[in-house]
Structure 1
Amino acid sequence: MGKTRVAVILSGCGVYDGTEVHESSAVMVHLSRAGAEVQLYAPNVNQMHVVNHLTSKPTEEVRNVLVESSRIARGNIKELVQLSINDTDALIIPGGFGVAKNLSSWAVKGKDCSVEPSVELTIKKFHATKKPIGLCCIAPVLAAKLIPGCELTVGYDTECEKWPHAKTTQAMKDLGCKHVNKNVNEIHIDKKNKLVTTSAFMCNAPIHEIFDGIGEMVKEVLRLV
């Protein structure tokens, strides 16, 4: 058998309005170490807004998700509508607020959000063909919206200094999903739906622990192929 072919969807470049750069880098490093063949994708749409990462405040700029994602991809990226399910074995989506702002409207509408059409179609295709999907940080909300009754983790469901985004779990439960509490270096596997999730930067943790958790996610996604 040849190399496992993995599609990775990016949502821009930068935690506050795009892909979390450390998460995407961790995904790429772990996939590279495992010998996977990786193709990066992003939807060709404008970002919801652009945030100055030095001040954490929105600006008046307009930026494109595909163009910004190409910064992380070193230019080697394709428009998401070009993804062929027949040429791909697994899907991984790193986190960052771009997931909740550009890949969906979760940041504004929560559980009542819509998912960007090419992202929705891609996730539904992978699920329908029983190909594994790995999601980290806030990205599991996409599965919560699109795969009824699935099991997920975004960390812990009690808000505290370590888990500042724990309220996300309630919206996922409201959508009929089962949330499973897991630490940052752990994953949850929904065997029925072939979903692998880990909390990453949903946790206020040292970066090496986030890196290790993402490594466990990648390892399990590849095992499920």
Structure 2
Amino acid sequence: MQAALRVLAPRALPSLGPLSSCRPRALHCTASCAGARVAVVLSGCGVFDGTEIHEASAILVHLSRGGANVQIFAPDIPQMHVIDHSKGQPAEAESRNVLPESARIARGKISNLSQLNASNHDAVIFPGGFGAAKNLSTFAVDGADCKVNKDVERVLQEFHKAAKPIGLCCIAPVLAAKVLPGTELTVGHEDDKDGKWPYAGTAQAIGAMGAKHCVKDVHEVHVDNKNKVVTTPAFMCETDLHHIFDGIGAMVKNVLKLTGK
């Protein structure tokens, strides 16, 4: 068993002991680390109770391609609940924490969201998934009357005040709608279109929170140049994965462009 664990562990971490104490904090940094410093904020691991994994992966791929120096964060808080993704139902006897669940996506290279400071980064990006509406906020329960996690609120306000770009996809734009009134955002279309846009009602909630919704297709982005906020619909649309990947790529490209790096 120990031999197997040594094979699975990272080369620089030959046993289980150092795994908790020697984790590097930057993910897929470029060789020179000369690119934009981008923080990515996760909300767990799994579409129905945390971060949408395909969205997070797409963001990290496009950031890597763009030469960014990436650091991943998540709040150290309990999840709203745990969903059995094979059944689509709550697992009543289970409880999980957002930080260690998010660490699954980050390959262990993650920091507490309380440590994220806008002065140390050029941009911040929030993937979607129901975790943004359940763990980073209460939007899934309270809609336009939702509350946003205090650290998420602080981070959004810090980056906005510093005029540093903020990227959000899927349901995550509701966070900016609540925290940064007047922001222009997209979650896609404003009507269902025969099941293609099952969460179209979110657009009305964005308006109710004081933001402006802008209709965009899944492969498109909306860039609010005044507020330096970039959004794309991602899995708000029922479509092929490559369309979502392309839309996220456009979002990341525009975020990096706004950093000026």
* TM-score of the pair, normalised by structure 1: 0.99
1:197 aligns to what SS in structure 2? Answer: strand
Mapped contact 2:79–2:135 kept (Cα < 8 A): yes
Alpha-carbon shift at residue 2 of structure 1 (Å): 2.5
Q: Which amino acid aligns with 1:109?
A: D
Question: 1:195 and 1:224 mapped to 2: Cα distance?
Answer: 9
Where does residue 34 of structure 1 map in the other structure? 66
Structure 1, unmatched stretches of 5+, are: none
Question: 1:2 and 1:20 mapped to 2: Cα distance?
Answer: 29
Alpha-carbon shift at residue 84 of structure 1 (Å): 2.3
Question: 1:130 and 1:84 mapped to 2: Cα distance?
Answer: 14
Mapped contact 2:55–2:245 kept (Cα < 8 A): yes
Find the partner of 1:75 among 108, 113, 117: 108
Please tell me whether residue 209 in structure 1 is matched to residue 209 in structure 2: no
Q: Which ranges of 4 or more aligned residues in structure 1 deviate by more than 6 Å?
A: none
Alpha-carbon shift at residue 87 of structure 1 (Å): 1.1
Alpha-carbon shift at residue 83 of structure 1 (Å): 1.1
Q: Which amino acid aligns with 2:239?
A: A
Please tell me whether residue 18 in structure 1 is matched to residue 50 in structure 2: yes
Computed over aligned residues only, the root mean square deviation of the Cα atoms, in angstroms, reads: 0.9
Structure 2, unmatched stretches of 5+, are: 1-32
Alpha-carbon shift at residue 38 of structure 1 (Å): 0.1
Where does residue 138 of structure 1 map in the other structure? 171
2:252 aligns to what SS in structure 1? Answer: helix
Alignment of 1:1-225 (within 5 A): 2-60=34-92, 61-160=94-193, 161-225=195-259
Mapped contact 2:37–2:121 kept (Cα < 8 A): yes
Question: 1:107 and 1:83 mapped to 2: Cα distance?
Answer: 25
Q: Which has the higher contact order (CA 8 A, sep 6+)?
A: 1
Q: Which amino acid aligns with 2:216?
A: K
How many residues end up aligned between the 2 structures? 225
Q: Which amino acid aligns with 1:201?
A: F
Question: 1:37 and 1:171 mapped to 2: Cα distance?
Answer: 34
Of 156-165 and 99-108, deviating more is 156-165
Question: 1:171 and 1:216 mapped to 2: Cα distance?
Answer: 25
1:159 aligns to what SS in structure 2? Answer: coil
Deviation readout 1:132-153 (Å, 9 max, x if unpaired): 0000000000010011111000
Alpha-carbon shift at residue 175 of structure 1 (Å): 1.5
Alpha-carbon shift at residue 114 of structure 1 (Å): 0.5
Question: 1:123 and 1:84 mapped to 2: Cα distance?
Answer: 10
Q: Which of the two has higher C-alpha Rg? A: 2
2:238 aligns to what SS in structure 1? Answer: coil
Question: 1:54 and 1:132 mapped to 2: Cα distance?
Answer: 36
Alpha-carbon shift at residue 3 of structure 1 (Å): 1.6
Identity %: 60
* TM-score of the pair, normalised by structure 2: 0.85
Alpha-carbon shift at residue 178 of structure 1 (Å): 1.1
